[in-house]
Homo-oligomer: A and B are copies of this chain.
Amino acid sequence: MPGRNALFVPGPTNTPDRILRAMHRAMEDHRSSSFPALTRPILADLRRVFKTQDGQCFVFPATGTGMWETALVNTLSPGDRVLASRCGQFGHLFIDCAQRLGLRVDVQDEDWGSGANADRIEEALRADTAHEIKGVLVVHNETATGVTSDIAAVRRAIDAAGHPALLYVDTVSGLVSLPFEMDAWGVDAAITGSQKGFMLPAGLGLLGMSRKALDRRATARCARVFFDLGDMIAANASGYFPYTPSVPLLYGLRESLDIIFEEGLDAIHARHHRLAEGCRAAVRGWGLSLCAKEPRWASDTVSAVMVPPGIDGAAVIDVAYRRYGLALGAGLGKMAGQLFRIGHLGDLNELMLLGALAGVELAMRDVGIAVALGSGVAAAQEAFRATAAPLPPRGAPASPDAPPPPTRAAHERVAVAR
């Protein structure tokens, strides 16, 4: 199909050309004396992204799924009890992971479309006077339902109960794109992967661990080799890795961090919120509703759109992909067929999203959903106009130090030749 495909699944996200360039690189010796000059600043900078002073960040040649396992096996022992909130498919899978590792999981089911219920968590922890519960498992941003949970509230609940359980947070589709405060929220294990907010291909599992969590390694008896943090800590100390790292992904991560710091985490969050507001305006423009049951739950990285009764959400996705080159996310687990998902995270801007919304409209009409063409696009455009940053007047220098811009006359004179 000619032209560029429109990738609007909630990950993998678009990898900026800068990162693709940085990854196009001859192999090199990962034991060389110059290699730590690459590795060490990456590991240090990750702590700025996770927002942790005291914790330690890790990079594994794996995926986010592997980091669930890493967080658990390095801190717990078979038979240990944990409490988990289940608000969607990824929470479900996190729990499944824990169970397969031999942990006992107290599951708190919430309506899909809601976030973790801090009150219920507090209640359960208060009831656990013996402090049998070793950890609380929460998904920060439930990719399957487009719901963001309030992690700070979960931390307040744990503290209110005076409970020593560790707080394990899956922030795979949250970190970078959404505000995340590892230290301030008292997160003990923050789990993510490279293919969402970091805008990299999949292939790196990224993990932030608090000191408290790392101390549990001494007593945790879950079997672990590849995901053992001890080997990683020992090798990282001198700037190396215990296994051959993916050299391209490390250079890509270096570039990703540079891009993130150039835009700034606050600006990135604001941009995601603004784009999400445009997307939500479009959904209202179509007369449809989100899976997220209340505005406070609506995620700034992915919108799950409920389809009308009698329509198969999977059909929207199929037509969008095959006819318009637009990749959308499917309904998962018990939401299969009831919704489609628009990912709006990573390296994204207004016009990309408007093109995708136009494509969603076409696909919805093709499968029989009676939306007015252009209705969602117009609503999103209005939202973007209402929140646009002021634009310096034409011809103003880009910065006080910049040379004066070319005059219009000069510009148009050269513009006449080919």
Residues of A within 8 A of B (CB): 1-7, 9, 11-15, 17, 20-34, 36-37, 40, 61-66, 68-69, 78, 89-90, 92-93, 97, 100-102, 143, 172, 193, 195, 201-203, 222-228, 231, 234-235, 237-249, 263, 271, 314-315, 318-319, 321-327, 329-330, 332-333, 336, 347-352, 354-356, 358-359, 361-362, 365-366, 372-375, 377-379, 381-382, 384-385, 388, 391, 394, 398, 402-403, 405-408, 410-418
By beta carbon, the residue of chain B nearest A4 is: B352
Given known contacts A17-B26, A33-B406, A244 and B193 CB-to-CB distance under 8 angstroms = yes
Once the chains are docked, how many angstroms separate the CA of A6 from the CA of B27?
Answer: 10
What is the bound-complex CA distance between A17 and B20, given in angstroms? 11
Inter-chain contacts of A193 with B (CB < 8 A): 244, 418
A370 to chain B, nearest CB (A): 14
Known A-B contacts A202-B61, A319-B391; A414 and B244 likewise in contact (beta carbons under 8 Å): no
Q: How far is the CB of A106 from chain B (nearest CB, A)?
A: 19
Q: B414 and A235: CB pair below 8 A?
A: yes
Q: Are A231 and B78 in contact (CB under 8 A)?
A: no
Do A372 and B378 touch (CB < 8 A)? yes
Chain B residues positioned under 8 Å from A238 (CB to CB): 406-407, 410-411, 413-414
Contact A27 B201 (CB under 8 A): yes
Q: Can you pick out 24 interface pairs between chain A and chain B where the beta carbons lie within 8 Å of each other? A: A5-B28, A21-B24, A33-B322, A33-B411, A34-B398, A61-B202, A65-B225, A65-B242, A101-B223, A193-B418, A201-B246, A201-B247, A202-B246, A222-B223, A238-B406, A238-B413, A239-B406, A323-B388, A351-B356, A351-B359, A354-B358, A354-B359, A375-B378, A377-B378
- Assuming A12-B244, A358-B377, A412-B314, is B100 touching A228 (CB within 8 A)? yes
